[in-house]
């Protein structure tokens, strides 16, 4: 029997019973609104943060972790991260209208009101921080607040004022890995700070590639990205190289620590991963074109999960 898709089923149900038209319309409106709310949270960024936080939790407890507590920590972290993204988009709602890739976001497009966004951001922030504090621990909750403040209060307005915004944003992006670590109850050791350091440095080649590809839109929006401040690409290229180069020695630190079960294997792969990304970053710095930026973006997207998988394999 042929399978029918969902739109066909809904349409046929509505035509068979006119009274169902109203119900279908209401359901469609609810689904659309919930979809807009989800889009406000930037779910892809939230998922990335949860992955690194979960990996950090596993590394912090090689003898076995309290799974229910970690799951609660990840759920609460998602609320805090989603709140930060909503607040960020509310602050940039007028700026987003100037860029083609952001003009159709729920706030600038008018699909979600300012009041809805503010309430949703406040509720998710309060719920997430309270959940972390009561069910996990207050160290993790305070780190969540620090991440929210850094991203919303400092980084977001700084994008219009200084090219140093990338460094501040990288700090906010590195905090979730510390949250995953402390969620297990483990203290912030050198290993934890090393994980945060890798995540911090990784963001420079990653965001320099993005900033280059969207430099014209950032310029229209008035964002002071390094690729806008220096359209030649010399400084963005140098920053990409510096971040990729520093990643290699920093990522080697776990090989010297007790949690690394196979230091030689880890070292070889870490050098290979870091060296490959450094070579691609150097290519971008020399060529300064969209093709090399796309290669760097792809390399950064491969590096992070590959490095974390490797670290988990040899440490847990």
Query: Cα–Cα distance between 59 and 257 in angstroms, integer?
Result: 12
Average pLDDT over the chain reads: 90
pLDDT per residue over 110-154, tens digit each? Answer: 999 999 999 999 999 999 999 999 999 999 999 999 999 999 999
Per-residue confidence (pLDDT) for residue 6, from 0 to 100: 45
**pLDDT higher for 63 or 288?**
288
- CB atoms closer than 10 angstroms to residue 89: 24
Do 88 and 147 form a contact (C-beta atoms < 8 A)?
no
The residue among 257, 296, 264 whose CA lies nearest residue 278 is 296
pLDDT for residue 14: 47
Q: What is the pLDDT of residues 145-181, one digit of tens each?
A: 999 999 999 999 999 999 999 999 999 999 999 999 9
Torsion, Cα 28 30 31 36, to 10 degrees, reads 120
Does the pLDDT of residue 15 top 80, yes or no? no
- CB contact set of 78 (below 8 Å; sequence gap of 6+): 46, 49, 50, 128
pLDDT higher than 60, residue 283: yes
Tell me what pLDDT residue 261 has.
61
Pick 294 or 15 by higher pLDDT.
294
How far apart (Å, rounded) are the C-alpha atoms in residues 77 and 215? 31
- 220 near 98, Cβ under 8 Å? yes
Question: How far apart, in Å, are the Cα atoms of 69 and each of 77, 86, 182, 220, 275?
Answer: 12, 26, 11, 45, 37
The three-state DSSP-derived secondary structure of the chain is CCCCCHHHHHHHHHHHCCHHHHHHHHHHHHHHHHHHHHHHCCHHHHHHHHHHHHHHHHHHCCCCCCHHHHHHHHHHHHHHHHHHHHHHHHHCHHHHCCCCCCCCCCCCCCCCCHHHHHHHHHHHHHHHHHHHHHHHCHHHHHHHHHHHHHHHHHHHHHCCCCCCHHHHHHHHHHHHHHHHHHCCCCCCCHHHHHHHHHHHHHHHHHHHHHHHHCHHHHHHHCCCCHHHHCCCCHHHHHHHHHHHHHHHHHHHHHHHCCCCCCHHHHHHHHHHHHHHHHHHHHHHHHHCCHHHHHHHHHHHHHHHHHHHHHHHHHHC
Burial 195-214 (b: 16+ CB within 10 A, else e): bbbbbbbbbbbbbbbbbbbb
Neighbours of 52 (CB within 10 A): 24
Give pLDDT tens digits for 17-43: 556 667 777 787 778 888 999 999 999
Distance CA 170, CA 155 (A): 9
Confidence at residue 47, expressed as pLDDT on a 0 to 100 scale? 93
- Is the model's pTM score more than 0.85? yes
Across the range 242-248, mean pLDDT stands at 97
Superfamily of the domain at 31-186: UbiA prenyltransferase (1.10.357.140)
Q: How confident is the model at residue 204 (pLDDT cuts 50, 70, 90)?
A: very high
Q: What is the CA radius of gyration of the chain?
A: 22
Tens of pLDDT, residues 266-282: 888 899 999 999 999 99
Q: pLDDT by residue (tens digit) across 206-242? A: 999 999 999 999 999 999 999 999 999 999 999 999 9
How many Cα atoms are found within 13 Å in the side-chain-facing hemisphere of 242? Answer: 11
To the nearest whole percent, how much of the chain has pLDDT over 70? 91
pLDDT of 254 > 90? The answer is no
Average pLDDT for residues 178-185, to the nearest whole number? 96
């Amino acid at each position: 029997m042929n399978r029918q898709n969902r739109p066909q089923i809904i349409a046929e149900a509505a035509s068979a019973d006119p009274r169902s038209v109203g119900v279908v319309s209401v359901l469609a409106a609810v689904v659309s609104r919930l979809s807009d709310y989800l889009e406000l949270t930037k779910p892809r960024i939230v998922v990335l943060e949860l992955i690194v936080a979960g990996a950090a939790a596993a590394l912090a407890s090689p003898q076995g972790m309290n799974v229910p507590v970690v799951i609660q920590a990840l759920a609460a972290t998602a609320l805090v991260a989603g709140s930060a993204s909503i607040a960020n988009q509310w602050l940039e709602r007028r700026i987003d209208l100037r860029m083609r890739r952001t003009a159709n976001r729920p706030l600038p497009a008018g699909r979600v009101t300012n009041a809805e966004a503010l309430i949703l951001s406040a509720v998710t922030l309060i719920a997430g921080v309270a959940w972390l504090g009561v069910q996990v621990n207050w160290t993790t909750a305070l780190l969540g607040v620090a991440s929210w403040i850094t991203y919303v209060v400092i980084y977001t307005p700084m994008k219009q004022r200084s090219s140093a915004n990338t460094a501040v944003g990288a700090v906010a992006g590195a905090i979730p890995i510390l949250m995953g670590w402390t969620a297990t109850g483990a203290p912030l050791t050198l290993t934890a700070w090393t994980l945060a350091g890798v995540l911090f440095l990784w963001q420079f080649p990653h965001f320099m590639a993005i900033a280059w590809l969207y430099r014209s839109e950032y310029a229209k929006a008035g964002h002071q990205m390094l690729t806008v401040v220096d359209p030649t690409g010399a400084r963005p290229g140098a920053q990409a190289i510096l971040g990729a180069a520093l990643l290699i020695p920093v990522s080697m630190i776990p090989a010297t620590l007790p949690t690394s079960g196979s230091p030689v294997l880890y070292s070889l792969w870490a050098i290979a991963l870091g060296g490959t990304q450094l070579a691609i970053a150097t290519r971008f710095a020399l060529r300064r074109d969209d093709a090399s930026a796309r290669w760097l973006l792809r390399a950064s997207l491969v590096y992070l999960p590959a490095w974390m998988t490797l670290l988990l394999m040899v440490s847990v």
